[in-house]
Structure 1
Amino acid sequence: MLTKIIEKKWFALVSLVLALLALWYAAALVMNGKQIIQNYERKHQTWTYSQVIDQAYTVKRPMLPAPHQVAIELKKSIFDKSVTSKRSLIYHAQITLNSTLLGFALGSLLGILIAIGIVHNKTLESSLMPWVIASQTIPILAIAPIIVVVLGAINITGVVPKAIISMYLSFFPVTIAMAKGLRASDTLHEELMYTYNASAKQVFWKLRWYSAQPYLFASLKVAIAAALVGAIVAELPTGAQGGLGSRLLSGSYYGQTEQIWAALIVSALLGSILVWIVGLVEKRLLSRRGGPANV
């Protein structure tokens, strides 16, 4: 009976979650305990280990909030606030989501166009590909304020500057994967199409594009996660009034670590949902192409 339970998929997931929670509580005890001891010593007061343990999970502005403290903050920020309130994480997640989706769409389109150009033009590949690779060596925190200032000078504000920063992070994986995918078509199939006098356009849409789709969706999962990171990072140095990035920033300003961790968890959940949606679209496409519907 025990062996059958251990073999279940949910058992591994539950075990991992419980192990992470135990490690989290232990780390919170150590880090917050040091903070409490320092407070006692600063006031020249005596302390006991039982006092430290009792206060470690209830101290205000802890160095590392315990899981239940983060859960309370999530409840306050999600369920106890209206979605239109600036204290609601749903409100901030929606703002970040708008920038993420726009940046993801622009980045995916740009990546696909660059990959098509690279595959069909060797001169473009030798001249453009090094710049595509070099673009990812520039720290996003360095260029984010520059992009916002430059676009603000021409009266472009709001979602667009953050979307462009998201695009900057998301186009690269799409470019690399699509360039690989467009070249992954079978040589014999390509020669057969040319034997039947197929045009370059027909070869692209009926062969190359078809073979590139698995590569495309694999890169889209990476790209949409990168776009979310770009949107959050764009909100940090720009002083945005809304978004998960601004929530993280305000939490760090006022030492509200529970707020920081709650925003991080919502960000992670949002990213997981977005990747899951891309995967769902991929499965539907595979079923239409003749693959199994329940991959």
Structure 2
Amino acid sequence: MAAMTEIALRQRVLPVATVLAVVAVLWYAGAVGLNAAGAIERVLTPRGPWTFSDLVSATLAMERPVLPAPHQVAADLWSSIVDWPLDSPRNLLYHAAVTAESTLVGFVLGTLLGMVLAAAIVHSRTLDRALLPWIVASQTVPVLAIAPIVLVILGSLGFSGLAPKAAIAMYLCFFPVTVAMVQGLRAPQRIETELMHTYAASRAQAFWLLRLPSALPFLFPSLRVAIAAGLVGAMVAELPTGAQAGLGARLLTGSYYGNTVGIWSALVLSALLGLGLTGAVAGVERLALRTRRRASAGRPGMHK
């Protein structure tokens, strides 16, 4: 049993570790190559003769590098988290919490909107023809173009702070949920729908007892995509507002002052936040599908 667990662990950890190692090597090589010109001009030439090892050391220790090295990003991220209180604007976790809040609100709203639209499309051929093309067309508009429009409109209505960012996150979240739910709600076979008609089930009963359970395997993968898209939307919404908090605001501040290390620290933390959010959705998925399987397995025994 222990051997099987070790083999399974290796199969999971080894590919991830290999990819991380390759990325780290390429990252360090890119840092040396992109920072070389600046290191030669600003650091090495004033000192006099230099060697290749001096060049590598200088490129990996520049204060304002073109591409910071991984250890510089890790040190800046650690310093931001450890050296400042959690409620300090200098702590990246504070900004991550602000972005996560708008992401989660937009994700919940987008999921609800997507499910309502999918149910309407499935139950009405007219809405299917009228809504679905516009839903698809809505995603062809770049979020960078629509974000200022949404912010201006909601601002004129008196909404500011969380609401505009959540609205833009919702805009990116609802589409994958809608498309997946339409496919999932149409997944039941004809014999299953005819059986529901035989039992004289209403549309609402057929929806809750047949269509919605059949849509769960389609819903949860779309939720993982949606919450990642919602995170992007929340960060993009923080850019045109000049927000003082949030990972998008940190990216904007870093670009203003040429703090490339700070920019990359915010990027890395946003990636970790995205992994955490999608991992949470995946955990809910496993729990829901396991509960569904147990309920399905228990049904035959109930009829004995």
Q: TM-score, normalised by structure 1?
A: 0.93
Q: CA deviation at 1:49?
A: 3.1
**Is 1:12 aligned with 2:15?**
yes
Query: Which of the residues 273, 277, 295 maps onto 1:274?
Result: 277
Q: CA deviation at 1:53?
A: 1.8
- Per-residue CA shift, 1:42-68, capped at 9, x if unaligned? 979765434322211111110011111
* Aligned equivalent of 1:265: 268
Identity across matched positions, percent = 51
* Aligned equivalent of 2:3: none
**Structure 1 counterpart of 2:208, which letter?**
W
**Is 1:99 aligned with 2:117?**
no
Note closer, same or farther for the CA distance 1:153–1:8 as it changes in structure 2 (3 Å cut): closer
Q: CA deviation at 1:14?
A: 1.9
**Structure 2 counterpart of 1:131, which letter?**
W
Query: Which of the residues 112, 120, 123 maps onto 1:120?
Result: 123
CA contact (8 A) 2:81 2:92 kept: yes
**Structure 2 counterpart of 1:288, which letter?**
T
- Per-residue CA shift, 1:105-138, capped at 9, x if unaligned? 1100100011011111111111111110110000
Does the residue aligned with 1:197 lie in a helix, a strand or coil? coil
**Is 1:214 aligned with 2:209?**
no
Q: CA deviation at 1:195?
A: 1.0
2-side partners of 1:250 and 1:136: how far apart? 29
Deviates more, 1:10-19 or 1:104-113: 10-19
Does the residue aligned with 1:69 lie in a helix, a strand or coil? helix
CA contact (8 A) 1:235 1:245 kept: yes
**Is 1:285 aligned with 2:288?**
yes
Q: CA deviation at 1:12?
A: 2.4
CA contact (8 A) 1:40 1:47 kept: no
Task: Note the 1:131-146 alignment, pairs <5 A.
Answer: 131-146=134-149
* Aligned equivalent of 2:300: none
**Structure 2 counterpart of 1:135, which letter?**
S
CA contact (8 A) 1:115 1:176 kept: yes
Query: Which of the residues 193, 196, 216 maps onto 1:190?
Result: 193
1-side partners of 2:8 and 2:84: how far apart? 40
- Per-residue CA shift, 1:176-199, capped at 9, x if unaligned? 000000000121111011012111
Q: TM-score, normalised by structure 2?
A: 0.90
